[in-house]
Amino acid sequence: MKLSVVIVNYNVRVYLDQCLRSLQCSLQGVDAEVIVVDNHSRDDSVEWIRGHFPWVKVIANQHNLGFACANNMAIKECKGEYVLLLNPDTIVGDTTIRECLDFLALHPDAGALGVRMLHTDGTDAPESRRGVPSPMTSFYKMIGLCSKYPHHPRFAHYYMSGISWDKPAKIEIVSGAFCMLRKCALDQVGLLDEDFFMYGEDIDLSYRLLKGGWQNYYLPALILHYKGESTQKSSFRYVHVFYEAMLIFLRKHYPSLRFMFVLPVRAIISVKAFFVLCQMVNTYIRKSLGFRVSLPKRSVRPLEFDASIMGYGDMLRVLKDSDHSRTISIKYDDYTIEG
């Protein structure tokens, strides 16, 4: 078997349905299996998959075991030469899978391969290419220098912004939203570290591949990533889980420096959490007093597609080449998904 696709799902049935539809198109002509691990969803995801996608193998957990643990459960059962870790809130282009498999066949040194991920407005997702979050790289990101100077070779190394979006390139970290792995490389360096519950496991795995002598690559094949349907970046949960994951990574791979960065990272987490709290309290008070709470500006009319007429690859290309002023909306027979 050429490819095993692993998807971990948690309460995003509609997005998973769309992901599997796109995946079915992209896998045409590929000897592949698809395994969905459901982390105890309460939206009837398991019954829906079994009823609408009988070709998908389902592992139904009785508890939310986290992203890393759930992926490992499926990886242990994979039969493919390559393993694709794929988020459920993604749309895969019609030719993306075959482009990736062809690239890996031509690059035997590749341990992992990532792709060009688009936001719902067609802009490029910076996490498509990332650098190793060394103590200094992590520090620059956490204090905001990475976002303030997005093209600086040192301050913005976290997102490797000097690399062209249109050409394949060696990168350091591959996103877990779409991470195609050579199975023998995975067998060599080991499975995902289950100390990471939700974030950071892709960073750790990518870094271990580099240390194991493999290369990680970026390929400008297209997918759409809705990103964060269950966790908003402005929430307490995101702040704590994301930065705690960064702390776990630094402790694991830079143990000699752990006493230098533990307290600063803890302090940054506290400061960011405090600002999130202030924003939440401010919003609550304004609502209570009857003030209008400003919302992000959005186009009245989204960029609309009909899945019965246009293929996913064409949708993604149109979205990429748009003026990015509108978010995507895809119509199906029984529902519509808007970005």
**What's the average model confidence in pLDDT over 237-258?**
70
Calculate ∠ Cα 142-241-160, nearest 5°: 40
Contacts of the segment 313-319: beta carbons below 8 A, 24+ positions apart: 313/93, 313/94, 313/95, 313/96, 313/222, 314/94, 315/91, 316/91, 316/93, 316/118, 316/222, 316/223, 316/224, 317/222, 319/118, 319/121, 319/122, 319/224
Q: Residue 331: its pLDDT value, please?
A: 96
Determine the 3-state secondary structure of 177 from DSSP.
Answer: coil
> Does residue 86 sit in helix, strand or coil?
strand
The residue extents of the domains of the chain are 3-225, 236-288
CA end-to-end distance (rounded Å), the chain:
35
d(CA 329, CA 318): 12
pLDDT at 96: 98
The structure tokens 């709470």 sit at: 293
Going by pLDDT thresholds of 50, 70 and 90, the confidence category of residue 266 is low
Looking at the chain, the whole-number percentage of residues with pLDDT higher than 90 is 66
Of 125, 84, 82, whose CA–CA distance to 220 is shortest? 125
Lowest average pLDDT, out of 161-175, 199-213, 263-277, 324-338, goes to 263-277
Residue 93 and residue 228 in contact, taking contact as beta carbons nearer than 8 Å: no
Query: Taking Cα atoms as reference points, which of 110, 96, 87, 123 lies closest to residue 28?
Result: 96
pTM of the model as a whole: 0.86
Strand 215-225 to 169-171 pairing? antiparallel
CB 142 within 8 A of CB 268: yes
97-106, 264-273, 281-290, 321-330: which has the minimum mean pLDDT?
264-273
d(CA 63, CA 41): 9
Rounded alpha-carbon distances, angstroms, from residue 332 to 39, 92, 318: 26, 16, 18
Q: For residue range 251-260, list pLDDT tens digits in order.
A: 777 777 666 6
pLDDT digits (tens, 9 = 90+) for 11-56: 999 999 999 999 999 999 999 999 999 999 999 999 999 999 999 9
pLDDT at 134 over 60: yes
244 three-class SS = helix
Would you state the pLDDT for residue 258?
62
| CATH for 3-225 (3.40.1360.10, 3.30.360.10, 3.90.550.10, 2.40.240.10) | 3.90.550.10
Q: 220: pLDDT confidence band, cut at 50, 70 and 90?
A: very high
The residue-averaged pLDDT of 182-210 equals 91
Residues 216/160, Cβ–Cβ less than 8 Å: no
Instruction: Report whether pLDDT(81) > 60.
Output: yes
Summarize pLDDT for 55-71 with one digit per residue, the tens: 999 999 999 998 899 99
Who's near 33: CB < 8 A, 6+ residues apart?
A: 1, 3, 4, 5, 57, 78, 79, 80
